[in-house]
């Protein structure tokens, strides 16, 4: 056994605190009372058994989105311990919570905890910790005046708000949305900003994302995981994978790199970087060639039987066919849906019903394959072929040999797994951000979706197509609070702020650009790409004002002008949901807000009334902040729709309450209503009204054939494999092909939630206080890099240093850096290396956080070298 | 009654939640870990061991093994290390003289020594905190006409950070052994107590309650109907270094190696 580690307090820390002890009169009293007194009678340490601990249930809800019920034990108004509440009525969910949530008190009372409002010292350089403590009045008055100046100068739309993880805070995060709607400010959507929006989901299913809640995992019998490290990123849920295996499921992990999840799998396949789509297409070909697909399912629920015009490569519309009346075109089709044309087995054309999937269709009478000559209304005759036939032709490029070459996976494995996947139901396919946060991530997802759809594994308990990345999604209608009289703020995709507007964009961009930010619990100056350029935007004055509302002083605080101290989930009431379970929960105050911190609803209300006295009325001005919060929750529950109908605040005060769903049994099944009741795709994605997302799949079905012109022009009407970097890094600078040969993967750490917990002392200890770069030992040797030695990771856009870890699980040609470090913990910023490549298919529509340009974190090349060695 | 623990290594995902909840609830000073999770075969946690396709990553959580024939207890000259009536090995902090024979004797390396007053270490870690107060604050106070509220808030934060963990002392048995106190005195040895502050009140150890992988079970090994007894009866288990004859009461279900 290794020796226990000894005390690792840095010399710097020791010296600093000695300075503090000697130097500040105010503090020395307290510290001395802590350090100096040896006797246990000292009141600061007196253990008083008569002093009962008070237990308060709240919900740990950072940007992991896990939504874990926690109980804080409180004595003398201070949190002492935190433990999982383990009070979910469905006991298999207990205990939800992980090492981060259990050490959250290290942030509540952390070294970077915000205590008081602060203003940047005039003339001091952005990025420096140069602030003056001020009163709330001064901070808010200054914020209001500066915001008004910007609005007058550039228009209010030049002020953008960033709200992360909307569903983790319906009341307080909603308050900023409400204020932005009133003031005419813009909003950056967190889901696309973070790259978490899986574009294949809106393209294929018309939804923002739909996934199995984790307690459905044991209901699967075949689990295929592509680029997701669930055992590290979904710690409270990971046991369900084990339970699935215990119940007889097979779990396969497809990932270039070995991971904790791979170590628990029945099979791990180290596929080539960026080759996930080829894996899927190779398997789809086997499934189709061998007739292993669920023909009836495909005919009813997908667009694959529909005729594609060979002249335009678009779907043949029933309305364009001559004598279309004979096709029985349904009447009253809404503007966001289309009736398409399929062929019956006896050779007749029929119009699809995009409103009702089970309407008088006998799947046995539908021809999935074939061609037809069709006379159009204008007299022309066009050739048309079914999408399924076109898919079969396209898959000819993915024979076992070709696929083996593209993926590095033996062809025999591809064939074997394809057969197993097609014959072992339920099949659950999980695709993580490491799979899709690539330029061609949409193609990967669309190709992978073929596997569960071809095999009929959508809408069944345990089957499905799930992602678990990020901060999606709202589970009931939030408009009553998030909007004002139905009007919400206008959204500006964040990618355009770093990249600049594109010619192909459909989103609107303010004519004067974004000149001010109001950041709420977000750290873009560490956590977003090209953040060196973002910092420059602040330093050169383009970004004139940054107001930061956070409970910690982060890197982004250092680039801000006004710091408004908010609170943690133990200092306020808030309404929370999660994508991985069905429970509605509250955060509840265990302690008074630390220092002068205030719940954010209070802060936004105070700001609102300073901006315009009329705004006041929208924020329950007559109530204290806790009472106002309660009223907002009542409002949200009353107007939230079917999912929350009948649920009361009083119930929630007692514990988690399960939301309603439309599936049979206890577990919610994605797309249940579509598959079982024949409702058209998509189900609604809150907060958008149905028509905004229904336009993504106008057929009302699962779409593999995308006929919007951009897809056709790019040769992506059907899912296809495209190699990484060709249209991005190499196109931007052809010399990258030779100069930067390493794929730069910035994965999640178990010790942080992105950059939250970056300064958690206990978790830093587990990391040896060191940022690390994981490299393959052979690659390290070739570069002369030793274990534990300092390396520089760089490309032309940026550079960082870290300590090398030689990990044989890292694929040769890949380096892995665990993201989430703050600027002052690193020499540089790890996100500076990453360029915001925008793919035109992401711009075909713009619906915020539903169909919008995404950050492709992994589409990045770099090189590394020992520190001090020039290239 | 004989308390023991079973840890299912197939379920363990190496997340270190047990280590952290132990640290937080037992108020361990920086540098002290009663409970650690190792990746077998490497010093870098959660990295692979092996080559090419033949890789593995297996975890091993290690805390006091609660031996039935404990070397630490035998060598303790003051009987500070002792068995309670449930067979749990505890340290009476009022009896420990800091000779550290037990640390030398323990084959599992789980005992740790308080070279300093843990309050010092905690105060330092709470930091830099102190430094954040700095000169800026003083000038600000002056500007605010001597109002003391800001500094009051910051000192509260520092103090709270130093006083995290279960706050009340725990005395055990008729002899009132001091087996838990939020800040152990300088010069004593400390280790896992199966969370004496909880188990003596009928609750589970924090690591058992908190393990999100549900890898840990705790209970009475002498009761054949207890969960731990049933697991021992139905599964093959191992204990660490059984060859030493220490008879640990912490059992492991070995990983199953599912890989094809």
CATH architecture of A118-197+473-567+596-640: 3-Layer(aba) Sandwich (3.40)
- pLDDT score of A555: 93
Question: How far is CA A849 from its chain centroid?
Answer: 10
Beta bridge partner(s), residue A753: A756
Radius of gyration of chain A (CA): 28
| CA-closest candidate to residue B126, choices B169, B91, B161, B88 | B161
Q: What is d(CA B4, CA B221) in angstroms, rounded to the nearest whole number? A: 6
Of B48, B186, B211, the CB nearest to A809: B48
Radius of gyration of chain B (CA): 21
Measured over the CA atoms of residue A602, residue A605, residue A611 and residue A613, the dihedral's sign is negative
- Taking a C-beta distance cutoff of 8 angstroms, is the pair A798, A767 a contact? no
Of A6, A16, A115, the CB nearest to B157: A115
CA atoms within 13 A on the CB side of A745: 24
Nearest CA in chain A to B207: A83
Fold of A210-292+399-466: Dimethylsulfoxide Reductase; domain 2 (3.40.228)
- pLDDT one-digit tens code per residue, A244-266: 999 999 999 999 999 999 999 99
| CA-closest candidate to residue A715, choices A288, A390, A437 | A390
- Taking a C-beta distance cutoff of 8 angstroms, is the pair A566, A634 a contact? no
DSSP string across B200-237: TTTPPPHHHHH-TT--EEEEETT-TTSHHHHHHHHS--
Residue labelled with tokens 């710690």: A235
CB pairs under 8 A between A and B: 296
Q: What are phi and psi of A296, to 5 degrees?
A: -65, -40
Beta bridge partner(s), residue A163: A189, A520
Question: What integer is the mean pLDDT of B107-136?
Answer: 74
Round the average pLDDT of chain B to a whole number and report it: 89
Nearest CA in chain B to A266: B259
Residue labelled with tokens 């952290």: B20
- pLDDT one-digit tens code per residue, B131-183: 433 333 333 333 433 334 455 567 788 888 889 999 999 999 999 999 999 99
Q: What is d(CA A555, CA A100) in angstroms, rounded to the nearest whole number? A: 20
Instruction: Read off the tokens for A818.
Output: 């665990």
Given a cut of 70, the residues of chain A with pLDDT beneath it are: 1-50, 325, 360, 471-472, 869-871
The strand ranges marked E within A259-304 are 267-269
Cβ of A35 within 8 Å of Cβ of B120? The answer is yes
For the question of an ipTM over 0.90, the answer is: yes
Q: Enumerate the H helices of A540-597 as residue ranges.
A: 555-558
Residue labelled with tokens 């393990």: B211
Task: Suggest the residue from B129, B145, B165, B188 to mutate for an interface test with chain A (most A CBs closer than 10 A).
Answer: B129
Cis-peptide into A95, omega within 30 deg = yes
Query: If you classify domain B3-43+57-116+166-253 with CATH, what class do you get?
Result: alpha beta
Q: What is d(CA B145, CA B151) in angstroms, rounded to the nearest whole number? A: 13
- Taking a C-beta distance cutoff of 8 angstroms, is the pair B28, B19 a contact? no
- pLDDT score of A328: 85
Instruction: Read off the tokens for A795.
Output: 């490309």
Our separate counts of H helices and E strands in chain B read 9, 13
Q: Which residues of A touch B206 (CB under 8 A)?
A: 81, 83
CATH code 3.30.70.20 region(s) in chain B: 3-43+57-116+166-253
- Taking a C-beta distance cutoff of 8 angstroms, is the pair A84, A40 a contact? no
Q: What is d(CA A301, CA A303) in angstroms, rounded to the nearest whole number? A: 7
Nearest CA in chain A to B180: A47
Of B17, B33, B138, the CB nearest to A99: B17
Instruction: Read off the tokens for B150.
Output: 């800001």
Q: Enumerate the H helices of A69-135 as residue ranges.
A: 99-102, 105-108
CATH code 3.40.50.740 region(s) in chain A: 118-197+473-567+596-640
Q: A729-834 maps to which CATH number?
A: 2.40.40.20
Of B29, B166, B260, the CB nearest to A80: B166
- pLDDT score of B186: 94
Q: pLDDT tier at B258 (50, 70, 90 boundaries)?
A: low
Instruction: Tell which B residues from 136 to 175 touch A, by Cβ distance under 8 Å.
Output: 136-138, 140, 144, 148-151, 153-169
Q: Which residues of A touch B115 (CB under 8 A)?
A: 6-7
Instruction: Tell which B residues from 59 to 118 touch A, by Cβ distance under 8 Å.
Output: 62, 107-112, 115-117
Of A78, A105, A266, the CB nearest to B259: A266
- Taking a C-beta distance cutoff of 8 angstroms, is the pair A783, A868 a contact? no
CATH code 3.40.228.10 region(s) in chain A: 210-292+399-466
């Amino acid at each position: 056994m290794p020796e226990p580690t000894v005390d690792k307090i840095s010399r710097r820390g020791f010296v600093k605190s000695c300075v503090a002890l000697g130097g500040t009169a105010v503090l020395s009293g307290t510290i001395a009372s802590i350090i100096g007194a040896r006797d246990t009678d000292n009141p600061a340490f007196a253990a008083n058994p008569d002093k009962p601990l008070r237990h308060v249930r709240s919900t740990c809800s950072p940007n992991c989105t896990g939504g874990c019920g926690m109980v804080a034990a409180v004595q003398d108004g201070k949190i002492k311990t935190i433990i999982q509440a383990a009070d979910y009525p469905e006991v298999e969910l207990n205990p939800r919570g992980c090492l981060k949530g259990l050490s959250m008190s290290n942030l509540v009372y952390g070294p970077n905890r915000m205590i008081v409002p602060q203003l940047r010292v005039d003339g001091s350089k952005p990025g420096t910790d140069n602030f003056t403590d001020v009163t709330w009045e001064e901070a808010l008055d200054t914020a209001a005046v500066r915001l008004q100046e910007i609005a007058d100068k550039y228009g209010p739309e030049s002020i953008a708000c960033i709200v992360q993880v909307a569903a983790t805070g319906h009341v307080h995060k909603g308050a900023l949305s409400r204020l932005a709607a009133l003031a005419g400010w813009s909003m950056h959507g967190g889901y696309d900003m973070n790259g978490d929006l899986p574009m294949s989901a809106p393209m294929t299913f018309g939804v923002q994302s739909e996934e199995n809640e984790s307690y459905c995992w044991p209901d699967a019998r075949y689990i295929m995981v592509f680029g997701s490290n669930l055992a590290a990123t979904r710690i409270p849920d990971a046991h369900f994978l084990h339970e699935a295996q215990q119940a007889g499921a097979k779990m396969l992990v497809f990932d270039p790199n070995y991971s904790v999840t791979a170590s628990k799998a029945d099979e791990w396949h180290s596929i080539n970087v960026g080759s996930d789509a080829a894996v899927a297409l190779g398997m789809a070909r086997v499934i189709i060639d061998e007739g292993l697909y669920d023909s009836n399912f495909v005919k009813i629920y997908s667009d694959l039987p529909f005729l594609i015009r060979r002249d335009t490569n678009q779907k043949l519309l029933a309305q364009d066919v001559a004598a279309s009346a004979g096709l029985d075109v349904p009447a009253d089709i809404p503007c966001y849906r289309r009736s398409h044309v399929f062929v019956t087995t006896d050779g007749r054309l029929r119009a699809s019903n995009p409103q009702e999937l089970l309407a008088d269709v006998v799947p046995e009478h539908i021809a999935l394959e074939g061609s037809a000559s069709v006379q159009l209304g204008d007299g022309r005759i066009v050739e048309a072929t079914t999408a399924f036939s076109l898919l079969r032709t396209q898959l000819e490029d993915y024979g076992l040999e070709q696929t083996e070459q593209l993926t590095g996976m033996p062809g025999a494995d591809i064939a074997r797994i394809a057969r197993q996947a097609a014959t072992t139901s339920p099949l659950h396919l999980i695709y993580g951000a490491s799979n899709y946060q690539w330029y061609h991530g949409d193609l990967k997802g669309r190709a992978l979706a073929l596997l569960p759809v071809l095999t009929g594994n959508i809408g069944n308990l345990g089957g499905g197509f799930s992602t678990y990345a990020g901060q999606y999604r709202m589970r009931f209608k939030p408009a009553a609070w998030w909007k004002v009289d139905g009007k919400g703020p206008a959204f500006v995709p964040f990618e355009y702020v770093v990249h600049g507007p594109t010619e192909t964009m459909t989103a609107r961009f303010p004519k004067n650009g974004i000149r001010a930010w109001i950041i709420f619990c977000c750290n873009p100056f560490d956590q977003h790409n090209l953040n060196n350029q973002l910092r420059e935007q602040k330093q050169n004055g383009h970004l004139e004002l940054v107001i930061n509302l956070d409970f910690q002083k982060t890197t982004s605080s250092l680039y801000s002008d006004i710091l408004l101290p908010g609170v943690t989930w133990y200092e306020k009431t808030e309404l929370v949901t999660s994508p991985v379970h069905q429970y509605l929960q509250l955060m509840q105050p265990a302690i008074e807000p630390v220092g002068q911190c205030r719940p954010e609803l209070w802060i936004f209300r105070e700001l609102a009334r300073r901006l315009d006295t009329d705004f006041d009325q929208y924020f329950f001005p007559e109530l204290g902040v806790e009472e106002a919060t309660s009223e907002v929750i009542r409002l949200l529950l009353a107007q939230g729709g079917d999912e929350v109908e009948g649920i009361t605040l009083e119930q929630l005060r007692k514990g988690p309450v399960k939301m309603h769903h439309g599936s049979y049994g206890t577990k919610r099944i994605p797309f249940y209503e579509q598959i079982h009741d024949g409702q058209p795709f998509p189900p609604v994605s809150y907060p958008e009204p149905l028509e905004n997302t229904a336009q993504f799949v106008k057929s009302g079905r699962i779409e593999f054939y995308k006929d919007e012109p951009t897809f056709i022009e790019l040769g992506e009407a059907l899912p296809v494999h495209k190699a990484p970097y060709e249209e991005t890094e190499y196109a931007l600078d052809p010399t990258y092909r030779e100069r930067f040969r390493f794929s730069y993967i910035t994965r999640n750490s178990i010790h942080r939630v992105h950059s939250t917990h970056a300064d958690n002392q206990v978790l830093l200890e587990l990391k040896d206080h060191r940022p690390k770069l994981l490299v393959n030992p052979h690659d390290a040797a070739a570069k002369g890099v030793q274990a534990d030695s300092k390396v520089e990771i760089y490309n032309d856009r940026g550079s960082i240093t870290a300590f090398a870890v030689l990990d044989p699980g890292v694929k040769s040609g890949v380096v892995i850096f665990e993201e989430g470090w703050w600027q002052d913990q690193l020499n540089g910023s790890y996100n500076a290396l990453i360029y915001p490549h925008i793919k035109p298919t992401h711009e075909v529509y713009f619906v915020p956080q539903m169909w919008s340009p995404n950050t492709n974190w992994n589409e990045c090349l770099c090189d590394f070298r020992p520190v001090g060695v020039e290239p | 009654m004989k308390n023991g623990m079973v840890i299912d290594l197939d379920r363990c995902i190496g997340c270190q939640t047990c280590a952290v909840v132990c640290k937080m609830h037992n108020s361990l000073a920086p540098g002290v870990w009663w409970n650690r999770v190792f990746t077998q075969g490497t010093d870098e946690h959660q990295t692979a061991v092996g080559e090419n396709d033949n890789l593995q990553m297996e975890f091993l959580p290690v805390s006091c093994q609660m031996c039935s024939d404990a070397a630490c207890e035998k060598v303790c000259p003051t009987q500070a290390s002792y068995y309670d009536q449930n067979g749990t090995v505890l340290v009476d902090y009022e009896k420990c003289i800091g000779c550290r024979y037990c640390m030398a004797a323990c084959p599992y390396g789980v005992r740790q020594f308080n070279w300093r007053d843990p309050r010092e270490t905690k105060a330092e870690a709470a930091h830099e905190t102190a430094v954040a107060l700095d000169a800026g604050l003083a000038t600000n106070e002056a500007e605010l006409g001597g109002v003391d509220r800001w500094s009051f808030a910051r000192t509260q934060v520092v103090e709270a950070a130093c006083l995290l963990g279960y706050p009340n002392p725990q005395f055990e048995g008729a002899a009132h052994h001091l087996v838990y106190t939020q800040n152990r005195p300088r010069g004593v040895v400390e280790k896992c107590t199966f969370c004496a502050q909880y188990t003596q009140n009928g609750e589970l150890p924090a690591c058992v309650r908190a393990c999100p992988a549900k890898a840990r079970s705790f209970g009475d090994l002498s009761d054949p109907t207890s969960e731990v007894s049933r697991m021992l009866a139905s599964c093959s288990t191992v204990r660490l270094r059984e060859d030493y004859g220490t008879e640990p009461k912490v059992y492991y279900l070995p990983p199953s190696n599912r890989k094809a």
